[in-house]
Structure 1
Amino acid sequence: MKNIFAVLAVLSAQLVAAHYTLPDLIANGTTAADWVYVRETESHYSNGPITDVTSQEFRCYELDMSATPGETSIATVQAGSTIGFKGEHSPNALRCAMIAHVPIVPLLAANSDFYHPGYFSAYMSPASPAANSPEAGTGQTWFKVWEDPPVYENGALVFPLETSDQFTFTIPKSLPSGQYLLRGEQIALHLAETFGGAQFYIGCAQINVVNGGSGTPGPLVSIPGVYTGVGTFSVLSTALVAGVRRRGCTDVTCYLTRPTIKPSVNFRLVQNEPGILLNIYNLPADYAGYVSPGPSIWSG
């Protein structure tokens, strides 16, 4: 009995965390099995996000940046066809339930959506020398082909995909034929009021596009590099804060305090990256709507 309670505690923690991965490619009318065409991520077991937008891991978050690409298959897809990703979360909880014979499959099924409110997008990069090469996508070669931003309605942000477990879109018909990396991304914004608090869930699929056109994708960006991960601040004041050792930055004010020193410096945010640093639960009075981060969409 104690073991069952321990397992249930683990399950509760997994479900509350509600982290997930994007392991399944949706293409040619079918959903592939986990990690067949999508590079297995470092978070394949923990389901945790990546938060450092300057890290080389931010590109595809592979389990092994050298070996994983070559261990992943390449899917052949038609230009102009529908493609996308299916998300999964809490596989650890499911494994624990199976071991303990706890009937929680319906519970997991009911909680199989993305859960975290956020901004979804998809980027593509020509893959040189091939989609299963570690060198693919390492330059200023990425372009955005799709997005699903939150909608500003009645003074609040509404997130269309929050109750879904997948997203699909159309490959531009004029995209030239060839091998590509397809990078799906969600920027989860539930903790984005703190500088560096946005969570990024990433999946990179390896695809071969056939029957393409003669379009010129752009604008082109680098990943990492598409987001700066920095803000600009101005000093407001320096003050002694008795007993307060708060660290981090909000969308209004940043408080920096060394753990062993009581003096703190109060900064005000002058400029931030749109769509990544904001409090979605307490929007500014002059808020006019969500501004998508990154480049504009290339639709062909």
Structure 2
Amino acid sequence: MKLSVAITLLASAIAEAHYTFPSIANTPDWQYVRTTVNYQSNGPVTNINSEDIRCYQRNPGTGAPGTYTVAAGSSLSYNAKASISHPGPMAVYIAKVPAGQTAATWDGKGKVWSKIYQDKPTLGGSMTWPSQGARSISVPIPRCLQNGDYLLRAEHIGLHSAGSAGGAQFYISCAQITVTGGSGTYSPKNLVSFPGAYSATDPGIMINIYYPIPKSYTPPGPAVESC
């Protein structure tokens, strides 16, 4: 009995240390964000070659109930539950839904993703991560986007156990949005696919962040695109 209780408490503690990204703006969980595999367990993706690395979707092919309308040039909060408890970089990618499909029906496959947000650590006596402990990230929606439906992909990489390949933990979800008021001139230079954007041994993914303390850090993936 005591062992069973201990195992239950340990599992609960591990789950509480993890997190999900279930909502955008001031909206209910999983209303505009596709339900992820970890919606109950909070566990991460660790295999970057898995299809889960794209949207970590619980039911592939099934969209969220709604698609959220946002103005180009505004900022949109992407919310964590309960908070981003691990050290590591936060990034947000966007992909334009092709003609004939909607944000609720498209799977996001192919070299269609561009990075529109990325944070980096403060270096010194330790690595201090701006997103650690945050409950929400403010994402700037480029003013030059073409109007229409998009998938917005939030990604936080927990680097606390990333000293060997496969140790990094990816916390991911995809929101369904419709962009209005954009100029339509957005022309990203570096489109990537998921899987495909990362290697398990990329220096921003396989890294010991504690000792020796890194003197520099380069996030994985492409550079942030601008208008």
TM-score by length of 2: 0.91
Larger RCO, structures 1/2 (Cα 8 Å, 6+ apart): 2
Q: 1:124 touches 1:180 (CA, 8 Å); kept in 2?
A: yes
Query: What is the CA distance between 1:56 and its match in structure 2?
Result: 1.4
Q: Equivalent residue of 1:152, what SS? A: coil
Q: 1:143 touches 1:220 (CA, 8 Å); kept in 2?
A: yes
Query: What is the CA distance between 1:124 and its match in structure 2?
Result: 0.2
Q: 1:120 touches 1:148 (CA, 8 Å); kept in 2?
A: yes
Q: 1:283 aligns with which of 212, 220, 223?
A: 212
RMSD (CA atoms): 2.0
Q: 2:60 aligns with which of 58, 65, 76?
A: 65
Task: Give 1:130's aligned residue.
Answer: 102
Q: 2:113 aligns with which of 142, 154, 161?
A: 142
Distance 2:68 2:151 in 1: 10
Q: 1:293 aligns with which of 220, 223, 227?
A: 220
Q: 2:196 aligns with which of 210, 213, 225?
A: 225
Distance 1:72 1:227 in 2: 30
Task: Give 1:188's aligned residue.
Answer: 158
Structure 1 residue ranges, 4+ long, deviating more than 6 angstroms after superposition: none
User: Is 2:27 aligned against 1:55?
Assistant: no
Q: 1:122 touches 1:146 (CA, 8 Å); kept in 2?
A: yes
TM-score by length of 1: 0.70
Q: Which amino acid aligns with 1:115?
A: S
Query: Gaps spanning 5+ residues in structure 2: where?
Result: none
Equivalence map 1:13-52=2 (5 Å): 13-17=11-15, 18-26=17-25, 31-52=26-47
Distance 1:141 1:288 in 2: 33
Distance 2:124 2:215 in 1: 10
Q: Which amino acid aligns with 2:13?
A: L
Q: Equivalent residue of 2:127, what SS? A: strand
Q: 1:219 touches 1:295 (CA, 8 Å); kept in 2?
A: yes
Equivalence map 1:92-131=2 (5 Å): 112-128=82-98, 129-131=101-103
Distance 2:191 2:131 in 1: 26
Q: Which amino acid aligns with 1:125?
A: A
Q: Equivalent residue of 2:55, what SS? A: coil
Equivalence map 1:197-208=2 (5 Å): 197-208=167-178
Distance 2:159 2:52 in 1: 20
Aligned sequence identity (%): 38
Q: Which amino acid aligns with 1:289?
A: S
User: Is 2:59 aligned against 1:87?
Assistant: no
Query: Gaps spanning 5+ residues in structure 1: where?
Result: 89-111, 230-271
Aligned length in residues: 222
Q: Equivalent residue of 1:153, what SS? A: coil
Equivalence map 1:130-279=2 (5 Å): 130-135=102-107, 137-154=108-125, 156-213=126-183, 214-229=185-200, 272-279=201-208
Query: What is the CA distance between 1:277 and its match in structure 2?
Result: 0.5
Q: Which has the higher strand share?
A: 1
Distance 1:77 1:127 in 2: 15
